Amino acid sequence: MWLMILRRTNQSSGKSKGVHSPIQPDVPFFAVGDVHGCDRLLDQMLQRLDGLRHPEALLVMVGDYVDRGEESRRVLRRLFVLSQAAGDLMHCLMGNHEQMLLDVLDDPQSNGPRWLRHGGLQTLASYRVQPVLGNGSEAQWIEMRDRLAAAIGEDIIAWLRGLPLSWQSGNVVVVHAGADPDLPIKEQETGTLLWGHPEFRQRARSDGLWVVHGHTITEKPRVVQGRIPIDTGAYATGVLTAALVEKDQVSFIQA
């Protein structure tokens, strides 16, 4: 089954799971997990979401559109075009892999080696840009950066730089990686939202917020301890997951 429904109501919340309030978004929305260069899965997912015929639901992407999979170029172009056409009906968040890509564009020699080790090679291949082999000289890293920037295009780079770190509807917030359970969302450090927090999966928040997130691969999407993890490792498992978040209900859709 590619559609699974889990419900949370006032009666079902319990201290043992740290659930202290029902899920109450102001508007229903689909949140799509980490795509990581899997454009064919993204295309399938978008078609399935469209087939559910839920005209009131917004679309939120949790980040990590690039790296590891083979189709990062297609993913970025698709999301850029869709977001420009959809306006406020679609929200794409920043992931740590988008930030790593931007860091490489800003300082290729310092940030390039790490990026290449964490999936950047596949992104370069999708743009037909040769990577720097070994340590490389500063000139080689700059040349790689310049070729990549030209291939991505100024419009998409500007769009990436403007991606927000979080999106909220009612008592449900969407971030890429996680949040410090002791701090309000507006006071979170950028690194925490992009890379996670050691206590995020250990303790539920005390402010009643539910957090939808990706970043950390989960075998099965679920509703647990104020969190809704939806990264099912599309590039490794071939399974991309989305959550339809509505009042008192979360539905998981997989492609």
Instruction: Output the pLDDT for position 5.
Output: 41
What interhelical angle do 72-86 and 39-51 show, nearest 10?
30
What interhelical angle do 154-161 and 96-106 show, nearest 10?
120
CA end-to-end span of the chain, whole Å? 10
According to the CATH classification, is domain 3-39+46-95+164-254 in 3.30.360.10? no
Beta strands in the chain (DSSP E): 3-7, 29-32, 58-61, 90-92, 166-169, 172-175, 210-213, 227-229, 241-246, 249-254
Euclidean distance between CA atoms 187 and 170, whole angstroms = 18
What contacts 122, CB < 8 A, 6 or more positions away? 37, 67, 68, 69, 70, 72
Count the Cβ atoms, other than its own, within 10 Å of residue 138.
10
Domain ranges of the chain: 3-39+46-95+164-254
Euclidean distance between CA atoms 151 and 36, whole angstroms = 18
Euclidean distance between CA atoms 86 and 41, whole angstroms = 20
Q: How far is CA 199 from CA 26, 82, 95, 140, 161, in A?
A: 27, 35, 19, 41, 28
3-state secondary structure of 86: helix
Instruction: Output the pLDDT for position 11.
Output: 28
> Please, is 156 exposed, middle or buried when counting C-beta atoms within 10 Å of its C-beta (0-12, 13-18, 19+)?
middle
pLDDT per residue as tens, the chain (255 positions): 344 444 333 323 333 344 468 999 999 999 999 999 999 999 999 999 999 999 999 999 999 999 999 999 999 999 999 999 999 999 999 999 999 999 999 999 999 999 999 999 999 999 999 999 888 999 999 999 999 999 999 999 999 999 999 999 999 999 999 999 999 999 999 999 999 999 999 998 999 999 999 999 999 999 998 999 999 999 999 999 999 999 999 999 999
What is the Cβ-side half-sphere exposure of residue 3, based on CA atoms within 13 angstroms?
8
Q: Please give the torsion angle defined by the CA atoms of residues 79, 97, 45 and 81, in that order, rounded to the nearest 10 degrees.
A: 0
Instruction: Output the pLDDT for position 20.
Output: 63
Count the Cβ atoms, other than its own, within 10 Å of residue 219.
10
* H-state helical runs in 19-91: 39-51, 72-86
Instruction: Output the pLDDT for position 12.
Output: 35
